[in-house]
């Protein structure tokens, strides 16, 4: 019996999550049930998805290049110890390689730690680079929300000792440009500063050793109501109600430069050195954002915390305003209440991490860094959905070399070869005597705009019949003019 969501009859998909593929010998046939991807948390990209991916990457890379960035690449695995102690509680999500002799290795978890390792290893003290590559997390996959175990990150970082907030402002400008150009609807970029958070925790009476764990709890405010966050602070993290309420007042605050100015006058915060440094920088940041004309989308939001340990200053996160309907529902997710239209949530995030490079340098030499990571998988999900009803071309072929008559394979191959040699993107069907209809159908299916038709008469006349696939118009073109004519028509 075939299962309800299209699995092979060999497998009972009602128990999808427990099911195992039977062990196979080298000659046994493997079968891939539909739910395998759900379990593995990875996916293939088909040609249509790749065409969309290429478009998205082109927009992002153009932006990075417009801002003068170079690019680097690093291996997919790092020494296990390189990743140790960089990701807080999330370290359990790191994929390890099996110990087959030699160094212990893990798949990279992000591109930031490899970047810091690269800088320290090569003693680089300033660079502006982007890096687009896949990273790996053994997280619970949620494919409908574009959350995979293997996913792309697009990182842009500026390393170097510079005057305050100038590179930080450029990172925000980049997020703004990319989200605008991708045309994903309205968005907001929340900004905060780890020093402001720490100062706030201090003046609210949070003990020093609880800063990081309370920070993690505050970070949940984008998914949980304040009441629940407060409960976690009090019941699980052991804060007093008083302290939690004081935090609650601060984290409800949102604004711009004005809020930074107001908080610099706050009787408690103004007494805290860390907070003052953060707030002064926040003011300066907004003055640069004003010059960069992006303040309409940027909000100083005291509830933004971000999970990672390594941030030391400004942090930010971009959120799309729209929700997307679930693409495919997995049984596990169907239980979720919010799955009819899930919020795509954060599509970019980053911040300043001035201490990370020093962790990899034998002498602890610091290289200040600030950067941003674009959450490209969620963006792919949205773009794919937008394109789901559209026809997307997956090849760039300009012309198909065809014939209506038999025994012209050699002539077709000769002409195709000549076109390739002249730089024309050309195809020919791999059949001795294909029907004209199937040649035209191939063009219609794949969007090839032109057909170059050869026949005995055309060969005799030294011409090629050039057909426009859409209009069905045909015109005889002298062989010598063919390349120019194709170029002209497929500009």
Q: Which residues are annotated as a binding site for L-histidine?
A: 110-112, 137, 153, 157, 306, 310-311
- Per-position x/- string for 117-136, each x denoting binding to its own copies as judged by CB under 8 A, each - no binding: xx-xxx----x-x----x-x
Candidates 1, 4, 18, 102; binder of its own copies (CB under 8 A) is: 102
The answer to whether residues 344 and 324 touch, using CB atoms and an 8 Å cutoff, is yes
Closest distance of CB 185 from its own copies, Å: 20
Distance CA 87, CA 78 (A): 14
SS3 17: helix
Q: Take residue 3 and report the two structure tokens written for it.
A: 């299962």
Burial class of residue 51 in the structure, from the number of CB atoms within 10 Å of its CB (0-12 exposed, 13-18 middle, 19+ buried):
middle
Q: Which two tokens stand for residue 59?
A: 């927009």
Identified binder of its own copies from the candidate list 55, 59, 74, 211, rule CB under 8 A = 74
Angle (CA) 319 212 353, round 5° = 65
Our finding on whether 396 is near its own copies (CB under 8 A) is: yes
Neighbouring residues of 449: CB distance < 8 A, sequence distance ≥ 6:
398, 399, 443, 468, 469, 470, 489, 490
Determine if 332 is a binding residue for its own copies (CB under 8 A): no
Binding residue for its own copies (CB under 8 A) from 76, 264, 299, 483? 76
* Mask for 243-262, x = binds its own copies (CB under 8 A): --------------------
72 sits near its own copies (criterion: CB under 8 A):
yes
Known binding-site residue numbers: 110-112, 137, 153, 157, 306, 310-311
Alpha-carbon distance of 363 to 4, in angstroms, equals: 60
Residue 4 interacting with its own copies (CB under 8 A): no
Contacts (CB under 8 A) with its own copies, residues 154-193: 158, 160, 162-163, 166-167, 169-170, 173, 177
Q: Which one of residues 14, 323, 388, 395 is an interface residue with its own copies (CB under 8 A)?
A: 395
399 alpha-carbon distance from chain centroid:
34
Nearer to its own copies, 226 or 292 (CB): 292
Work out how close the CB of 52 gets to its own copies at its nearest, in angstroms, rounded to a whole number: 12
Q: What are phi and psi for residue 436, nearest 5 degrees?
A: -60, -40
- Which residue, 222 or 361, is less far from its own copies as judged by CB? 361
**Residue 341 interacts with its own copies (CB under 8 A): yes or no:** no
293 part of the interface to its own copies, by CB under 8 A: yes
Q: Among 21, 14, 53, 54, which Cα is nearest to 40's?
A: 21
Q: Which of 12, 71, 323, 407 binds its own copies (CB under 8 A)?
A: 71
The single-letter DSSP state of residue 398 is -
Task: Give the residue ranges of DSSP H helices in 351-490.
Answer: 356-360, 376-386, 409-421, 436-446, 456-461, 482-489
Overall size of the chain counted in residues: 491
Closest CB to its own copies among residues 199, 368:
368
Closest CA to 71 of 155, 162, 138: 155
Residues 402-461 that bind its own copies (CB under 8 A): 409-410, 413-414, 417, 420-421, 423-427, 430-432, 446
For position 99 contacting its own copies by CB under 8 A, the verdict is yes
CB 379, min distance to its own copies, A: 16
Q: With contacts defined by CB under 8 A, how many residues of the chain interact with its own copies?
A: 105
**Angle at CA 203, nearest 5°, toward 199 and 207?**
85
* Displacement of CA 353 from its chain's centroid (Å): 21
Q: How many angstroms separate the CA atoms of 119 and 121, rounded?
A: 6
Single out the segment in contact with its own copies by CB under 8 A; choices: 47-55, 210-218, 295-303, 330-338. Answer: 47-55
Q: How far is Cα 450 from Cα 470, in angstroms, rounded to an integer?
A: 9
Question: Does residue 212 touch its own copies according to CB under 8 A?
Answer: no
Check binding of 340 to its own copies (CB under 8 A).
no
Give the shortest CB-292-to-its own copies separation in angstroms. 5
Of residues 108 and 306, the one with the C-beta less far from its own copies: 108
46 touches its own copies by CB under 8 A? yes
d(CA 45, CA 54): 11
- Nearer to its own copies by Cβ, of 149 and 230: the residue is 149
Which of 12, 24, 140, 438 binds its own copies (CB under 8 A)? It is: 24
**Smallest distance from the beta carbon of 24 to its own copies, in angstroms?**
5
Map tokens 């998988």 to a residue: 377
Q: Of 98-106, 251-259, 331-339, 468-476, which segment contacts its own copies by CB under 8 A?
A: 98-106
Q: Give the angle subtended at the CA of 182 by the CAs of 177 and 184, to the nearest 5°.
A: 110
Q: Which is nearer to its own copies, 171 or 191 (CB)?
A: 171
Q: Which is nearer to its own copies, 139 or 339 (CB)?
A: 139
Q: What angle do CA 33, 37, 42 make, to 5 degrees?
A: 155
């Amino acid at each position: 019996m075939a299962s309800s969501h299209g699995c092979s009859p060999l497998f009972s998909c009602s128990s999808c999550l427990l099911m195992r593929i039977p062990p196979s010998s080298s000659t046994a046939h493997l079968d891939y049930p539909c739910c395998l991807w759900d379990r593995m948390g990875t996916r293939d990209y088909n040609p249509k998805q790749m065409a969309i991916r290429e478009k998205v990457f082109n927009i992002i890379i153009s932006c990075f290049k417009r801002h003068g960035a170079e690019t680097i690449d690093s291996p997919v695995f790092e020494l296990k110890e390189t990743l140790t102690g960089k990701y807080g509680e999330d370290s359990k999500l790191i994929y390890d390689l099996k110990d087959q002799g030699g160094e212990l290795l893990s798949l990279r978890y992000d591109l930031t730690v490899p970047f810091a390792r690269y800088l320290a290893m090569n003693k680089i003290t300033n660079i502006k680079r982007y890096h687009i590559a896949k990273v790996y997390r053994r997280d619970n996959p949620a494919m409908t929300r574009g959350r995979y175990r293997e996913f792309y990150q697009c990182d842009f970082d500026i390393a170097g000792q510079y005057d305050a907030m100038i590179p930080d402002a450029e990172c925000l400008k980049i997020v703004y440009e990319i989200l605008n150009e991708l045309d994903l609807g309205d968005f907001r970029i929340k900004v905060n500063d780890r020093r402001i958070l720490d100062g706030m925790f201090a003046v609210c009476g949070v003990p020093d050793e609880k800063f990081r764990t309370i920070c993690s709890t505050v970070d949940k405010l984008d998914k949980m109501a304040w009441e629940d966050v407060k409960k976690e602070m009090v019941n699980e993290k052991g804060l007093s109600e008083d302290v939690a309420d004081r935090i609650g007042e601060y984290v409800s605050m949102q604004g711009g430069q004005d809020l930074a100015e107001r908080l610099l006058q706050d009787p408690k915060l103004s007494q805290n050195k860390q907070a003052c440094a953060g707030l002064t920088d926040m003011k300066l940041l907004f003055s640069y954002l004003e010059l960069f004309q992006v303040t309409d989308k940027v909000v100083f939001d005291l509830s933004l915390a971000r999970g990672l340990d390594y941030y030391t200053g400004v942090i930010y996160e971009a959120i799309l305003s729209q929700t997307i309907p679930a693409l495919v529902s997995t049984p596990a997710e169907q239980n979720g209440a919010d799955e009819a239209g899930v919020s795509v949530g954060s599509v970019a995030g980053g911040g300043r991490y001035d201490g990370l490079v020093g962790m990899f340098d034998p002498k602890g030499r610091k290289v200040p860094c600030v950067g941003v990571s674009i959450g490209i998988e969620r963006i792919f999900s949205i773009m794919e959905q937008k394109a789901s009803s559209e026809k997307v071309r997956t090849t760039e072929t300009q012309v198909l070399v065809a014939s209506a008559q038999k025994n012209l394979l050699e002539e077709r191959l000769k002409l195709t070869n000549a076109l390739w040699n002249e730089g024309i993107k050309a195809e020919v069907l791999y059949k001795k005597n294909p029907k004209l209809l199937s040649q035209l159908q191939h063009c219609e299916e794949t969007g090839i705009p032109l057909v170059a038709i050869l026949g005995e008469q055309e060969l005799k006349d030294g011409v090629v019949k050039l057909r426009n696939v859409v209009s069905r118009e045909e015109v005889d073109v002298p062989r010598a003019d063919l390349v120019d004519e194709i170029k002209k028509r497929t500009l």
